[in-house]
Structure 1
Amino acid sequence: MLLRYGINLDQQARIGTSDTGLGPVLAKSVGGIEHAIMFLNLKLLDWETSYEVSVFQRAQAMVFAIEEINQNPNILPNITLGFQIYDNCNNIAVAHRAGTALFGGVSGTNTASDDNCLGSPPVLAIVGDARSSHSIAISRTMGVFHMPLVSYFATCTCLSAKHEFPSFFRTIPSDAFQVKAIIKILKHYGWVWVGVIATDDDYGQYALKLFIEEFKSFGCLSFVETLPTVYEKAKILLIAETIKKSSANVIIAFAGEEELNYLVNEVVLQNITGRQWIASEAWSTSNFLASSAFYNSFGGTLGIAIRSGEIPGLEQFFLQVRPNLRPENNLVVQFWETMFQCKFQQNLSQENTNSKPCTGSEDIKSMKTAYSETAERSTYTIYKAVYALAHALHNLIKCENGKGPFENNTCADKDNVQPWQLTHYLRKVNFTNHLGERVAFDENGDPLALYDIVNWQRTKDGTVFVKTVGIFDASSRDEEKLTISEDLIFWNSNSLTVPESVCSKSCFPGTRKTTRKGQPVCCFDCVPCADGEISNITDATECIKCPDDLWSNAGKNQCVLKEIEFLTYDESMGVILTIASLFGASISVCILIIFIHHRNTPVVKANNSELSFLLLISLILCFLCSLSFIGQPSDITCRFRHVMFGISFVLCISCILVKTIVVIMAFKATLPGSNIMKLFGVAQQRGTIFFLTFIQSMICCIWLVAAPPFPTKNSKYLNTKIILECDIGSLIAFSCTLGYVGLLSCICFLIAFLARNLPDTFNEAKFITFSMLIFCSVWITFIPAYISSPGKHTVAVEIFAILASSFGVTIAIFAPKCYIILLKPERNTKKALMGRVVS
Structure 2
Amino acid sequence: MYSVEVNCFTGLENPQKTCNNFQLMHKNYQQVLALVFAVEEINQNPNLLPNITLGYHLYNTYHSDERTLESSLKWLSGQSQTMPNYSCRTHDKSVAVIGGATSTLSVQMGSLLELYKFPQITYGPFDPLLHDKVQFPSLYQMAPKDSFLSVGIVQLLLHFAWTWVGLTSTDDMRGEKFLWNTAEEMSRRNICVAFIEKIPVSERRQDDSHVAFMPRIIASSAKVIIIHGDADSLIILRHSQPLIFTSLKLWIITSDLDITLRARHFDSYAFHGALVFKHQTCEPPGFSDFLKSVNPVKYPADIFLKSFWHSTFNCSDEFAKLERGECLPNASLEDLPLEYFDMIMSSLSYSTYNAVYAVAWALHEMFLMRTEMGFERHGENFTLQPWQLHSFLRNIQFNNSAGDPVVLDEQRNPVAKYDIMNYLIFFKQNEIFVKVGQFIPKSLLNQNFTISENSIIWGISQPTVPESVCNESCGSGFKKLSCEGKPACCFDCVQCPEEEISNQKDMDHCMKCPEDKYPNEERNNCLPKNVAFFTFKESLGMTLTCIALSFSLLTVLILVIFVKFRDTPIVKANNRNLSYTLLISLTLCFLSSMFFIGQPTSATCLLQQTIFAIVFTVAVSSILAKTITVVLAFKATRPGSRMKRWVQPRVSNFIVFICSMIQVTLCGIWLATSPPFPGLDLHSEPGHIIIVCKIGSGIAFYGVLGYMGFLALGSFIVAFLARNLPDTFNEAKFITFSMLIFCSVWLSFIPAYQNPKGKAMMNAEIFCILASSGGLLGCIFLPKCYVILLRPDRNTLEYLKQKADSRSHSEILPGRQKFKKKF
Amino acid of the structure 2 residue aligned with 1:518? G
For residues 669 and 208 of structure 1, the distance between their equivalents in structure 2, rounded to whole angstroms, comes to: 107
For residues 31 and 703 of structure 2, the distance between their equivalents in structure 1, rounded to whole angstroms, comes to: 100
Equivalent residue for 1:363, pick from 328, 350, 365? 328
For residues 788 and 711 of structure 1, the distance between their equivalents in structure 2, rounded to whole angstroms, comes to: 21
For residues 398 and 52 of structure 2, the distance between their equivalents in structure 1, rounded to whole angstroms, comes to: 20
Amino acid of the structure 1 residue aligned with 2:770? L
Q: Percent identity?
A: 33
Q: Name 2:364's counterpart in structure 1.
A: 394
Cα distance change, pair 722–667 in 1 and its aligned pair in 2 (3 A):
same
Task: Write out per-residue CA displacement over residues 308-329 of structure 1, whole angstroms, 9 at most, x where no aligned residue.
Answer: 5544444444454454666554
Task: Write out per-residue CA displacement over residues 430-454 of structure 1, whole angstroms, 9 at most, x where no aligned residue.
Answer: 4443434343445347454122221
Equivalent residue for 1:754, pick from 707, 724, 735? 724
Q: Tell whether the 8 Å contact from 1:633 to 1:711 is kept in structure 2 after alignment.
A: yes
Task: Write out per-residue CA displacement over residues 55-114 of structure 1, whole angstroms, 9 at most, x where no aligned residue.
Answer: 333222211211111112232222221111122233334434544666689xx9783634
Q: Name 1:132's counterpart in structure 2.
A: 103
For residues 484 and 45 of structure 2, the distance between their equivalents in structure 1, rounded to whole angstroms, comes to: 68
Indicate yes or no: 2:186 matched with 1:186: no
Aligned length: 764
Amino acid of the structure 2 residue aligned with 1:169? Y
Q: Tell whether the 8 Å contact from 1:337 to 1:358 is kept in structure 2 after alignment.
A: no
Q: Name 2:270's counterpart in structure 1.
A: 297
Indicate yes or no: 2:123 matched with 1:168: no
Deviation at 1:125, TM superposition (A): 2.2
Q: Name 1:223's counterpart in structure 2.
A: 195
Equivalent residue for 1:621, pick from 588, 596, 612? 588
Task: Write out per-residue CA displacement over residues 428-486 of structure 1, whole angstroms, 9 at most, x where no aligned residue.
Answer: 44444343434344534745412222112234665232222222223477554332222
Aligned residues: CA RMSD: 4.9
Task: Write out per-residue CA displacement over residues 231-278 of structure 1, whole angstroms, 9 at most, x where no aligned residue.
Answer: 444431342211222111111222444443354354325534321111
Task: Write out per-residue CA displacement over residues 666-723 of structure 1, whole angstroms, 9 at most, x where no aligned residue.
Answer: 8999999999866523333333433454566677678889999899999999999999
Deviation at 1:487, TM superposition (A): 1.9
Q: Tell whether the 8 Å contact from 1:536 to 1:557 is kept in structure 2 after alignment.
A: yes
Amino acid of the structure 2 residue aligned with 1:133? T
For residues 397 and 46 of structure 1, the distance between their equivalents in structure 2, rounded to whole angstroms, comes to: 44
Deviation at 1:302, TM superposition (A): 0.9
Equivalent residue for 2:36, pick from 63, 67, 70? 63
Instruction: Name whichever of 676-685 and 599-608 sits farther off.
Output: 599-608
Deviation at 1:565, TM superposition (A): 9.0
Task: Write out per-residue CA displacement over residues 392-413 of structure 1, whole angstroms, 9 at most, x where no aligned residue.
Answer: 3334444498899xxxxxxxx9
Amino acid of the structure 2 residue aligned with 1:242? R
State the TM-score, normalized to the length of structure 2.
0.77
Q: Tell whether the 8 Å contact from 2:235 to 2:261 is kept in structure 1 after alignment.
A: no
- Partner SS state of residue 791, structure 1: coil
Amino acid of the structure 1 residue aligned with 2:107? I
- Partner SS state of residue 221, structure 2: coil
Q: Name 1:803's counterpart in structure 2.
A: 770
Equivalent residue for 2:224, pick from 239, 250, 273? 250
Q: Tell whether the 8 Å contact from 1:160 to 1:445 is kept in structure 2 after alignment.
A: no
Indicate yes or no: 2:97 matched with 1:123: no
Q: Tell whether the 8 Å contact from 2:501 to 2:511 is kept in structure 1 after alignment.
A: yes
Equivalent positions of 1:587-736 (< 5 A) are 587-592=554-559, 608-629=575-596, 644-659=611-626, 680-693=647-660, 726=695, 728-729=698-699, 734-736=705-707
Equivalent residue for 1:260, pick from 211, 234, 253? 234
Deviation at 1:518, TM superposition (A): 2.8
Cα distance change, pair 529–420 in 1 and its aligned pair in 2 (3 A):
farther
For residues 783 and 180 of structure 2, the distance between their equivalents in structure 1, rounded to whole angstroms, comes to: 101
Equivalent residue for 2:215, pick from 241, 244, 250? 241
Amino acid of the structure 1 residue aligned with 2:650? A
Q: Name 2:737's counterpart in structure 1.
A: 773
Q: Tell whether the 8 Å contact from 1:299 to 1:492 is kept in structure 2 after alignment.
A: yes
Indicate yes or no: 2:81 matched with 1:81: no
For residues 602 and 665 of structure 2, the distance between their equivalents in structure 1, rounded to whole angstroms, comes to: 20
State the TM-score, normalized to the length of structure 1.
0.76
Q: Name 1:791's counterpart in structure 2.
A: 756
Cα distance change, pair 548–146 in 1 and its aligned pair in 2 (3 A):
farther
Amino acid of the structure 1 residue aligned with 2:363? L
Q: Name 1:382's counterpart in structure 2.
A: 352
Amino acid of the structure 2 residue aligned with 1:777? I
Q: Tell whether the 8 Å contact from 2:586 to 2:619 is kept in structure 1 after alignment.
A: yes
Q: Tell whether the 8 Å contact from 1:125 to 1:149 is kept in structure 2 after alignment.
A: yes
Task: Write out per-residue CA displacement over residues 544-586 of structure 1, whole angstroms, 9 at most, x where no aligned residue.
Answer: 7899999877666789999999756564434433443344344
Deviation at 1:815, TM superposition (A): 4.9
Instruction: Name whichever of 328-337 and 316-325 sits farther off.
Output: 316-325
Q: Name 2:419's counterpart in structure 1.
A: 452
Q: Name 1:341's counterpart in structure 2.
A: 314
Task: Write out per-residue CA displacement over residues 203-222 of structure 1, whole angstroms, 9 at most, x where no aligned residue.
Answer: 54443344334434333222
Unaligned runs of 5+ in 2: 1-17, 79-83, 375-379, 807-823
Q: Tell whether the 8 Å contact from 2:76 to 2:86 is kept in structure 1 after alignment.
A: no
Q: Name 1:352's counterpart in structure 2.
A: none
For residues 497 and 182 of structure 2, the distance between their equivalents in structure 1, rounded to whole angstroms, comes to: 38
For residues 550 and 742 of structure 1, the distance between their equivalents in structure 2, rounded to whole angstroms, comes to: 45
Indicate yes or no: 2:296 matched with 1:332: no
Q: Name 1:91's counterpart in structure 2.
A: 64
Q: Tell whether the 8 Å contact from 1:64 to 1:317 is kept in structure 2 after alignment.
A: yes
For residues 360 and 71 of structure 2, the distance between their equivalents in structure 1, rounded to whole angstroms, comes to: 22
For residues 666 and 691 of structure 1, the distance between their equivalents in structure 2, rounded to whole angstroms, comes to: 21
Unaligned runs of 5+ in 1: 1-44, 348-355, 405-412
Q: Name 2:814's counterpart in structure 1.
A: none
Amino acid of the structure 2 residue aligned with 1:220? C
For residues 203 and 791 of structure 1, the distance between their equivalents in structure 2, rounded to whole angstroms, comes to: 68
Q: Tell whether the 8 Å contact from 1:469 to 1:485 is kept in structure 2 after alignment.
A: yes
Amino acid of the structure 2 residue aligned with 1:51? L
- Partner SS state of residue 40, structure 2: helix
Q: Name 1:17's counterpart in structure 2.
A: none
